Chains A and B, each alone.
Chain A
Amino acid sequence: MYKILEKKEIAMRNTWYKVHAPHVARKVQPGQFVIIRAFENGERIPLTPVMWDREDGWIVLVVFTRGRTTMRMAAELKEGDEILNIAGPLGNPVPMKKFGKILAIGAYTGIVEVFPIAKAWQELGNDVTTLNVTFEPMVVLKEELEGAVSRHIVEPVPIDPNLDFPANMRNVTKRLTEKVHEMLEKEGFDLVFMVGPAGDQRAVFNVVKEFGVPMKVDLHPIMVDGTGMCGACRVTVGGEVKFACIDGPEFDAYQVAWDELIARSGYYTDLEAKAMQEYMKALQGGGQ
């Protein structure tokens, strides 16, 4: 049981949780994640500690309200409540090396996973530029990143109310690829790193590939246990089947079988929508 010390909405559909989890705080390294279970009948979801204090024993999680579990958390959890389970740290830390000039990209709430990595790379002597492309009302951690890396660029994309959600998301993808193209054309980078939806990662990778710049990605396949015992998160990397939770989550973008990864991330779309609808119905029903 892990106490929520702070909870606030820091942007549209983005909630900040500062949670007491000393066992994770004392060990976590940039690139690692946790698996949490917030409710007794809840599922296990992977999240990334964004900040931590080893001595005081807290971690910060920033959660994008995406489906039933994250929405339940936003709606039902209050400061002072407890999260039932936080397992971690899990996965491998990203390599802490001097790469040189790094472009670290976070699409949507992916920027919160970029934050601890970019910060640590910068502290190690790398020249890090971070780029956050997201919808205008969803910009997060702007000041924190400005204080942590050489340069932080925010590319807010307005939400067009006349377009449906997929069309709006395509606008983000477009801005992402255009911006990355522009930046790579203007200046040289030694490494590109990206966190975001698999489709956007592939789109950006296709741009980066043209310039021949090395690229690393944090992958987000479906996870259940996060400890290597089920293989739900399997991905093909360099022709071999890997488990993202124990072999990753960071991989070489040039080695990832993108089509397969994108297909696998959509396996539960219908059931996820059903879970969400049931929850919305319950919320509405509760008030009547």
Chain B
Amino acid sequence: MARAKPKLIKERVPTPEVPVEERVRSFVEVNLGYDFASALKEAERCIQCPPEYAPCIKGCPVHINIPGFIRALRENPDNPDEAVKNALRVIWNDNTLPAVTGRVCPQEEQCEAPCVMGKVGEPINIGKLERFVADYARKHGIEEALLREFMGGNGGMKGKVAVVGSGPAGLTCAGELAKMGYKVTIFEALHKPGGVLIYGIPEFRLPKEILEKEIAKLRELGVEIKLDYIVGKTVTLEELLEEYDAVFIGTGAGTPKLLNIPGILLDRIYTANEFLTRINLMKAYLFPEYDEPIAIGKKTIVIGAGNTAMDAARSALRLGTEVTIAYRRGREDMTARIEEIQHAEEEGVKFEFFVNPVEFIGDENGKVKAVKFEKMRPLDERDSRGKRKIVGTGEYITLEADTVIIAIGLEPNRIISEEATGLKTNSDGTLVVDENLMTSIPGVFAGGDAIRGEATVILAMGDGKKAAKAIHNYIQAKKANA
């Protein structure tokens, strides 16, 4: 039967946002997401490329059947519950944390980048549709019914797997293995699971309540989470290997890089990790209702221009300080998500480009009062990572600041590799893995920032999923040979 040529709607259905003046005074979520009617309208824009071809699926690191879940929404326009349940089933096949990924993925570089609709207009708003499905399902009690379908019911008979770290890589690996019928135990050093999702990404991008519910779902699938466990200290990797059939290391890149310049130990110079941990994990913005304090002044400089820098800048702004982001390259070189840069600008964050800090200047009490920068100039060359090369001009500027947040990057924490000496690492501390994500120790797999250095949530999730398959193959092969 001949199909009517699809009518192209070039522009996206917008999602409402909390007005700037209201949101800069609180940590409420900025983007409010779609309701069913608007989600349906956006879903109608999808031209339904066949799954074996659909470029959006290829662009997604966990290969969600995107046209499939969008079609499920469209198939039941008069029954939202049914539509969402069917869409969620499609998503969960590949991704157990859609409320998280729908919010924090850089879709413009992933699924939405190759979307065919993007060639003639705006790409389908895949992230917001994914988020809508997850949010609607959670609010309307649709998840519980669906969870039962995914539990498999073989009670962990296939084997036991230890997952180290409860960030995006570990949570995904655990979820995939649980769906396959493994008994999974996650070991987490902090007092709440989620890794960067709980301590790094602020409430205004990812409400913690939503994250907690996503993680609770994994518990429903039978995943056990042991908190306060520092693998390498509380328990060794060797001990884990005695008790479990395989281990997945998803310990991330949580050690902040510091600038090796004078004044780094002055008061009110934070690493972004400390600043964000105090705010997100410890809720220092609610001090003294919460016990954790945070000391902040009137003028804050954030050094760096990645997502962490945007999160730190926008959080600082909400504590009532003026904020300037200082970056050694230019506007077009910033690595943060476009949406976050836009939000930061709307909220009043200022930017200084082509400035490289050379010294922190303190007052008589040991508090920072200014930062001295060298002005930089771009060259017409790129470095090995594809970034524009820059050189110093020999000219300097000094900017006043009574708070400084350093967000120049992170590297892997070495606690586990220092303890487990058989675990091979690269010079930057990342773990060496083969094409199946297996480390130098048989049965020990790794993924996410622990092998990549600082990357993205969704790449970590992709690794978690790939490792889960490899772990499954490894355990089943071992059992067959036993």
Interface size on B, residues (CB 8 A): 42
B196 and chain A: residue at smallest CB distance: A229
A241 is an interface residue with CB less than 8 A from chain B? yes
Give Cα A99–Cα B278 distance, bound, in whole angstroms.
Answer: 41
Q: Give the residues in chain A near B289, CB-CB below 8 Å.
A: 41
- A residues in contact with B282, CB < 8 Å: 43-44, 224
5 new A-B contacts at CB < 8 Å, known A41-B283, A68-B291, A272-B293: A27-B234, A229-B277, A231-B273, A232-B274, A271-B287
Known: A88-B233, A227-B413. A268 touches B189 (CB 8 A): no
Asked if A87 meets B230 with Cβ closer than 8 Å, knowing A39-B291, A241-B264, the reply is: yes
B233 CB contacts on chain A under 8 angstroms: 27, 32, 88-90
A77 at the interface (CB under 8 A from B): no
B216 at the interface (CB under 8 A from A): no
**Known contacts A85-B191, A85-B228, A267-B295; A224/B274 CB under 8 A:** yes
The chain B residue with its CB closest to the CB of A263 is B366
Q: B190 on the interface (CB 8 Å rule)?
A: yes
Query: A241 contacts which of B189, B265, B290, B415 (Cβ < 8 Å)?
Result: B265
Chain B positions 241 through 278: 1 when the CB is less than 8 Å from some CB of chain A, otherwise 0: 00000000000001110101000110110110110011
- Chain B residues within CB distance 8 Å of chain A: 189-191, 227-230, 233-235, 254-256, 258, 260, 264-265, 267-268, 270-271, 273-274, 277-278, 282-283, 286-295, 365-366, 413-415
List the A side residues contacting B189 at CB < 8 Å.
Answer: 87, 225, 227
Contact with B along A87-109 (1 / 0, CB 8 A): 11110000000000000000000
* A87 and B267 contacting across the interface, CB-CB below 8 Å: no
Whole-angstrom CA separation of A264 from B270 in the bound complex? 12
Q: How far is the CA of A193 from the CA of B425 in the complex (A)?
A: 35
A78 interfacial by beta-carbon distance below 8 Å: no
Determine if A188 is an interface residue (Cβ-Cβ < 8 Å): no
Pairs A–B under 8 Å by Cβ, sample size 5: A23-B229, A43-B290, A229-B256, A263-B365, A268-B293
B228 touches A86 (CB 8 A): yes
Which A residues are within 8 Å of any B CB, using their own CB? 23-24, 27, 32, 37, 39, 41-44, 68-69, 72, 84-90, 224-225, 227-232, 234-236, 241, 246, 257, 260, 263-264, 267-268, 270-272, 274-275, 278-279
Asked if residues B415 and A228 are in contact (CB atoms below 8 Å), the reply is yes
Residues of A within 8 A of B265 (CB): 234-236, 241, 257, 260, 264
- Alpha-carbon distance between A82 and B394 when the two chains are bound, in angstroms: 59
Partner of B228, one of A87, A234, A260, A275: A87
Q: How far is the CA of A68 from the CA of B290 in the complex (A)?
A: 11
The distance in angstroms between the C-alpha atoms of A247 and B27, with both chains bound, is 35
Instruction: Tell whether, in the assembled complex, residue A229 and residue B283 are in contact, meaning their CB atoms are under 8 Å apart.
Output: no
Contact A229 B255 (CB under 8 A): yes
Contact B258 A85 (CB under 8 A): no
What is the CB-to-nearest-CB distance from A236 to chain B, in angstroms, rounded to a whole number?
Answer: 6
- B292 closest partner in A (C-beta): A43
Chain B residues near A41: list those with CB within 8 A: 283, 286, 289-291
**Which residue in chain A gives the minimum CB-CB distance to B274?**
A230
Chain B residues within 8 Å of A231, by CB: 256, 258, 271, 273-274
How far, in whole Å, are A270 and B296 apart by their CA atoms in the complex? 12
Select from chain A the residue with minimum beta-carbon distance to B253.
A229
Chain B residues within 8 Å of A84, by CB = 191
A219 to chain B, nearest CB (A): 13
Which of A224, A229, A278: most chain B Cβ within 10 A? A229
- List residues of chain A with CB within 8 A of the CB of B277: 224-225, 229-230
Q: B228 to chain A: which residues have CB within 8 Å?
A: 23, 85-88
- Which of B265, B278, B289, B366 has most chain A Cβ within 10 Å? B265
**Contact at B190–A271, with CB atoms within 8 Å?**
no
- Asked whether, in the complex, the Cβ of B234 is within 8 Å of the Cβ of A230, the reply is no
